Amino acid sequence: MSAPKGSHIRELGVAGLAIIDAVRVEFGLGLTVLTGETGAGKSLLVDALALARGGRGDSGAVRAGSDRLRVDLQISSQGRDQIAVREVYAEGRSVARIDDELVTIGRLAGEVGPLIDIHGQHDQQRLGDPARQRELLDRWSKAEGHRAEVASLIQQRSALHEELRLRAQSETTSKPPTCARGRRRSSRRSCAVPQTASESLPCKTNFERR
C-alpha cells in the first residue's frame, strides 16, 4: 500500500467485518509491516481500506451476528487530517461520511480514493481499464485541470443533441400526413405517414371504375 506524497494513514478502525469483531491499528510514518498466520485477517485490513476509499461494499462481509460492519479511517494529507467512515448493513444498505458529513459513495471515492493506492496481484490488468488510461494520459500531459471543463462541454453537447431529437420527434408527430389526390374518385386510399418532418412519401391509391 502506498499513499501520494504528503499523505499518510494515521489510524484504521474496523468492526464487524468477516472474522474481525473489533480492531484498531495505528500507522506511523514510513513503512508499516503487518505479519500473522494465514487466516488471521491481514487481507481483511486491506479490504477495509478499500471500503474506506469508496470501494464496493458487500453485505455478505458483515460478521455473523452483527447488523453492520464499520470502517473508520483517519488520514493526513498535506497537513490536514480527515476522517472517512464507511458502514455496510446486513440488509445491503451502505452509508459513507467524511468528517461527520453524510456523503455519497461517489464523493467518498473522489476525495479519499486518490489519497490511497492499493497494490496487489494482477494490478497490471488495471492498465486495460479505459478510465485508468485516460487518468494516466491526463496526468502525463498535465491536462488534469481541463478535465472538468471538457466534461462540462460534453454534457452540454449531449443536452443539445437530446433537445434536437425531441424537437424533430415533436414536428413529426404534429404534422399531418400528405396524400396526392388523383383525378378519379377512389373507394380505397392508403397513405404512408412520413418518417421525419421533412420526408413526404407518396400515397398509394387504388381506383375502381364505376
Residue 183 falls within a domain, yes or no?
Answer: no
Q: Which three cell numbers stand for residue 190?
A: 392508403
pLDDT the model gives residue 102: 93
Q: Over the range 79-89, which residues count as b (16 or more CB within 10 Å of their CB) and which as e?
A: eeebbbbbbbb
Query: Please, which pLDDT band fits residue 95 given cuts at 50, 70 and 90?
Result: very high
Q: Find the domain containing 42 and state its range.
A: 7-145
Strand partners, 103: 96
Residue 39 falls within a domain, yes or no?
Answer: yes
Cα dihedral 166, 171, 176, 177 in deg (nearest 10): -80
Closest by alpha carbon to 8, among 100, 79, 65? 79
CATH number at residue 131: 3.40.50.300
Residue 177 falls within a domain, yes or no?
Answer: no
pLDDT the model gives residue 151: 84
**For a pLDDT cut of 70, what percent of the chain falls above it?**
80
What is the total count of domains within the chain? 1
pLDDT the model gives residue 7: 78
d(CA 132, CA 138): 10
pLDDT the model gives residue 80: 84
pLDDT the model gives residue 186: 46
The amino acid at residue 109 is A
Burial group, residue 27, by CB count within 10 angstroms (0-12, 13-18, 19+):
middle
Residue 108 falls within a domain, yes or no?
Answer: yes
Residue 68 falls within a domain, yes or no?
Answer: yes
**pTM (predicted TM-score):** 0.54
Residue 130 falls within a domain, yes or no?
Answer: yes
**3-class DSSP state for residue 41?**
coil
Residue 80 falls within a domain, yes or no?
Answer: yes
- Over residues 33-90, the pLDDT tens digits come to 888 888 888 889 999 999 999 988 889 999 999 999 999 999 988 778 899 999 999 9
Residue 116 falls within a domain, yes or no?
Answer: yes
pLDDT the model gives residue 210: 45
DSSP string, 92-130: S-EEEEETTEEE-HHHHHHHTGGG-B---TTGGGGGG-H
Cα dihedral 85, 89, 95, 97 in deg (nearest 10): -20
Lowest mean pLDDT among 14-28, 61-75, 171-185: 171-185
- Over residues 128-169, the pLDDT tens digits come to 888 888 888 888 888 877 877 888 899 999 999 999 999 988
pLDDT the model gives residue 207: 46
